[in-house]
Structure 1
Amino acid sequence: MRIDAQTLRELELFEGPEGGTSIFDGFIRTLTKGGERRLRKRFENPLKTLDEILTVQQTLRFLRHEPEAWLPSLSGRQERLIEEYLFSGIETVSSGWRALAAIQGLKQTFIYRHFDQIEVGCQETWRCLRDFHQLWQRHRPREKTPLLEKIWGQAEILFSDQQLQAVWKPKPSLSFGDIFVFDRLFRAKCFSQVKQLIGLIFELDALTSMSQICKELRLNFPEFENHSEPQLEIEALVHPRLIQAIPNSIKLDSKTHFLVLTGPNMGGKTTFLKACALAVYLAHLGMGVPAQRMKLTCFKGLMTSLQNHDNLELGYSYFYSEVRRVKQAAELIRQEKQVLVIFDELFRGTNLQDAFDASLEIIRRLSLFPQVLCILSSHLIELVPQIQNLPGMQFFCFKVTVHKNSFDFDYQLYPGISEHKIGLAILKSEGVLELLEP
């Protein structure tokens, strides 16, 4: 699924608000930095096909029951020592014979004084590989998912390398000569194989982390429909970062593909839009979603327009940045067809009449693409009479109860249109107008 940098930024996937915690930061459960890098790579690349999504989903379901049983023991400290050792650049001995290697190793010990680093790094690498080999043997006969079978198959090829057979032989510890023989293996002759095996450990760490967060946050795995008509149905959806969030539901398909969302400021519109986009995004990672139930088709693209900015370097005004974003959405629609597009208030950077006219033209054209699911929030309720009979339109809103000096928001989604306008009332309640009295 295609997703661009602005959408990633607006959903706070890798950059939290004002430098705070991002969605990704909150989802990290990896034991190693290498596992975290593999996890981030998965998050940066949502899956494109239904088969890929279901394959990962099946594996996360499988790992959910006993995640620790499928992960080799590799601590962050051990990972750091191994990485520093493997990429140290220290010269290895030239002989693979234990006695001769030990003699050559004396040079490293007494002349270059590298023995401590070589000993610690080699021992930790040896233990790490042997732990993975034992785990691989233990689970080899067990029934596994296709993705785990693929990892086990890759590991089998590497474990079967004739040059590495001495590593798997029972041995309580490494002798002085063993250290230099294995050091030559790990950092010279079989460096590529060792890197690949450790990479498989990182991949298991990433998958286990994804499974663990699904279990910890009680994320439910969505159901994917395999047909050409777009569909998005979510029951009891919440934003994963909110505590005691109010759940809401949504349904879009080719017959009702355009949802217009209205409501007062602070009523929950933007948070709901982000929650919808995040659910679709997580589903395309193969993960569970923060909803009671979700059914959808595989989307080719996801794009949001929630926080446009002017660009002084490029000379773009706020309004022109909005126009460019709508153009990017139109280009995505032309290229991919089956996409989800989410707009939070079109054309805020211009006067009301221009915003009305431009919004109306964009909505009219988007309504003619039943393969595109669109959610648009707007304060321009004057648009409603002009668009209510367009193909595929549906209207939902958030409401507010206004008291003399306060407002009550229930953050519940209702069918229909909200005509509440409380901007001036909020200014008054915050005492802003009093501060500006001469």
Structure 2
Amino acid sequence: MLFTTDKQTLDDLNIFGKHGSDSLFNIFNRCATRGGAAVLEEMFRYPLSDHATINRRSSIISYFAATEKTFPFPSSHFDAIEPYMSNRDERTKLTQENNTIGRKMGNIIAPDNTTQLIMKGVAAIVDLMQTSRSFMQDLALSDAHPYAQEKDSIFSILDMPAFEPVFSLKGKPGFAQMADLDVVFRFRYREEIRQLLQRLYQLDLYMSIARVAGERNFAFAKALPGNMLSIKLEHVFHPGVPKAVPNNIRIHPDGNVIFLTGANMAGKSTFMKSLSIAMFLAHMGFPVPAASMEFSVMDGIYTTINLPDNLGMGASHFYAEVLRVKKMAAELSQGKKLFIVFDELFRGTNVKDAYEATIAITKGFATRHNSLFVISTHIIEAGDILRADTPNVRFIYLPTSMNGNTPVYTYTLEEGITDDRHGMIIINNEGILDILEAGIQQTQPA
């Protein structure tokens, strides 16, 4: 089954970002090649849903993180190869007829750009293949190593008899050799060269992600079969928050619904994003912002954290929430194992309706024992009802303590339901009522 998610989730987690600079994609995009960046984008758009495939990719990246090797090719090689390989016009083949005194003199006066592009492309592929063989030979891998298959596929191309002249060259190829290799690279074995490039883009990606893991102290998660239905995270944090406070969280089948409470500014949204980002990255086989992680593979992730009104449809915020819940219900009805996050469910309606709807929807989610849910709310009274008759709901909160009239936030999860109510204290601390009173006095006649 394909892993499913949607634009709302990608936006909530800032996967690509509106401006890109602080997006998850940009955090991981240290690729030296445009092809590597394209593979990275595809992986972000299509996470995995098979635990063996996830663990294999994770093991490959972990291997390169441990070796601390760097990508051995200059990006300029790929800049030369891509336009060269895109030229399929047989009239541009290098031939001995081109290698004349007249052509050489002509190039001195007005260089033939097409010929120069072709010669640069051939030279770049020659160096690429020679460097690839040397680099791969230095990788001492057992047959069972997760990267062994990709290494073998690269050698299966490099060892083709047609490419033997590449490895017997002494120094730079002459014009006649370039002409022969041009025919081999661009026309006779074009698909094999493309396959080699794709393998090297993949290598660029692996080494880029490995570098990020080392620099940011990210951990490599272990994927478990989906039927185990669990998450174990130690010191998970938000990768975009400076000096983020880490948290521990465990979710098990007997408590597959997390009911999260806490005062405003206590860190609920940030925690939910941190957890969701870790789950998203883990399903890609990427390192996660945590000290350690084990998780059951799900069929999809859906978050609702920054849900906008749909003015184009004339939909209020509450109706947008209702439609979002309806979409989740439809996905769950297909039997999918989903990780679903709702931040402040039904904030767009009055307190009574929000209270009743929060209880009803949370109970409805709790009947889906094959999925995992995290629901936050300010309607803490709903927790008392759920605690009484919904045993698979687990209650956690982010506490607030008071230093005089100043709230102090620990950003550290605790078990239970919060009883913090500090909204009016914050309003008074900001002097809002004083500002309004002063405004009234100024408008009154003397």
Q: CA deviation at 1:266?
A: 0.7
CA distance in 1, matches of 2:378, 2:93: 75
2:172 is aligned with 1:200: no
**Does the 8 A contact of 1:93 with 1:180 survive in 2?**
no
Checking the alignment, whether the CA contact within 8 Å between 1:234 and 1:251 is kept in structure 2 is yes
User: 1:341 is paired with a residue of what secondary structure?
Assistant: strand
Task: Kindly indicate whether the alpha-carbon contact (under 8 Å) linking 2:226 and 2:337 is maintained by their aligned counterparts in 1.
Answer: no
Helix, strand or coil at the partner of 2:193 = helix
Per the TM alignment, residue 30 of structure 1 is displaced from its structure 2 partner at its CA by 1.7
* Contact 2:407/2:422 (<8 A) preserved: no
Instruction: Provide closer, same or farther for how the CA distance between residues 312 and 170 of structure 1 changes in structure 2, counting only shifts above 3 A.
Output: same
In 2, distance between residues paired with 1:125 and 1:66? Answer: 26
**Residue of structure 2 in register with 1:40 after alignment:** 41
The residue that corresponds to 2:392 in the other structure is 392
Query: Does 2:270 align with 1:268?
Result: no
- 1:94 CA displacement: 5.3
- Does the 8 A contact of 2:256 with 2:369 survive in 1? yes
> Aligned residue for 2:244?
245
Q: Hey, what does 1:9 align to over in structure 2?
A: 11
The alpha carbon displacement at 1:232 in A equals 1.2
Secondary structure of the structure 1 residue equivalent to 2:373: strand
Compared CA separation, residues 142 and 432, structure 1 to 2 (3 A): same
Letter in 2 for 1:276: L
Match of 1:102 in 2: 99
Judge which range, 280-289 or 80-89, deviates more: 80-89
Q: CA deviation at 1:99?
A: 4.1
Runs of 5+ consecutive residues of structure 1 not aligned to the other structure: none
After superposing the two structures, state which structure 1 stretch, 152-161 or 246-255, moved more: 152-161
Distance in 1, Cα, partners of 2:93 & 2:38? 34
Say whether 1:349 aligns with 2:362.
no
Quick one: distance in 2 between partners of 1:428 and 1:87?
Answer: 66
SS in 1 for 2:9: helix
1:377 is matched with which residue? 376
Partners of 2:105 and 2:371 lie apart in 1 by 66
**Secondary structure of the corresponding residue to residue 27 of structure 2:** helix
Divergent runs of 4+, >6 A: none
Deviations 1:273-295 (A, max 9, x none): 11111111222122332223322
Match of 2:119 in 1: 119
**Contact 1:223–1:295 (Cα < 8 Å) also in 2:** yes
Cα offsets for 1:340-383 (capped at 9, x unmatched): 11110111112222222221210111122222211111000121
How far off is 1:93 after superposition? 5.0
Partner of 2:444: none
Q: Distance in 1 between matches of 2:329 and 2:374?
A: 14
Counterpart position of 2:420: 420
Say if 1:25 and 1:19 are closer, same or farther in 2 by CA, change over 3 A: closer
Describe the shift of the 1:78–1:225 C-alpha distance in structure 2 as closer, same or farther (beyond 3 A): closer
Letter in 2 for 1:245: A
- The answer to whether the Cα contact below 8 Å between 2:344 and 2:375 also exists between their aligned partners in 1 is yes
Is the Cα contact below 8 Å between 1:303 and 1:342 reproduced in 2?
A: yes
Q: Aligned with 2:17: secondary structure? A: coil
Deviation at 1:89, TM superposition (A): 5.9
**Distance in 1 between the 2:189 and 2:104 partners?**
23
- Rate the CA distance shift 1:171–1:336 in 2: closer, same or farther, 3 A: farther
Q: Distance in 2 between matches of 1:92 and 1:185?
A: 15
Q: Does 1:21 align with 2:52?
A: no
Which ranges in structure 2 are unaligned for 5 or more consecutive residues? 441-446
Root-mean-square deviation (CA), in Å? 2.6
Q: Deviations over 1:198-231 (max 9, x none)?
A: 1111000111122222222222223334462311
What amino acid is the match of 1:47?
A: L
Cα–Cα, structure 1 residues 226 and 108, in superposed 2: closer, same or farther, change >3 Å? farther
Find the aligned partners of 2:393 and 2:402 in 1 and give their Cα distance: 29
The structure-2 alpha-carbon separation of the partners of 1:146 and 1:103, relative to structure 1 and needing over 3 Å to count, comes to farther
Q: Distance in 2 between matches of 1:108 and 1:43?
A: 51
Deviation at 1:411, TM superposition (A): 0.9
- Cα 1:169–1:304, aligned 2, differ >3 Å: closer, same or farther? same
Instruction: Call closer, same or farther: CA 1:145–1:210 in 2, change over 3 Å.
Output: farther
| TM-score normalised by L of structure 1 | 0.90
- Residues 92 and 187 in structure 1, CA contact (< 8 A), matched pair in contact too: no
Whether contact under 8 Å (1:268, 1:411) holds in the other structure is: yes
Q: How many residues align?
A: 432
Instruction: Note the 1:155-166 alignment, pairs <5 A.
Output: 155-166=154-165
Residue 108 of structure 1 deviates from its aligned partner by: 12
SS in 2 for 1:3: coil
Conserved in 2, the CA contact under 8 Å of 1:92 and 1:188? no
TM-score (norm 2): 0.88
d(CA) in 2 for partners of 1:35, 1:227:
30
For 2:98 and 2:263, locate their aligned partners in 1 and report how far apart those are by CA, in whole Å.
Answer: 76
Name the CA shift for 1:19/1:183 in 2 (closer, same or farther; >3 Å). Answer: closer
2:65 maps to 1:64: yes
Q: Does residue 82 of structure 2 align to residue 83 of structure 1?
A: yes
| Superposition deviation, residue 19 in structure 1 | 5.7
Q: Distance in 2 between matches of 1:178 and 1:201?
A: 24
Mark the CA change 1:217 to 1:118 in structure 2 (over 3 Å): closer, same or farther: same
Letter in 2 for 1:328: K
Q: After the TM superposition, which residues 135-150 of structure 1 pair with which residues of structure 2 at under 5 Å, given as runs?
A: 135-139=135-139, 142-143=141-142, 146-150=145-149
In the alignment, structure 1 residue 133 sits paired with structure 2 residue 130? no
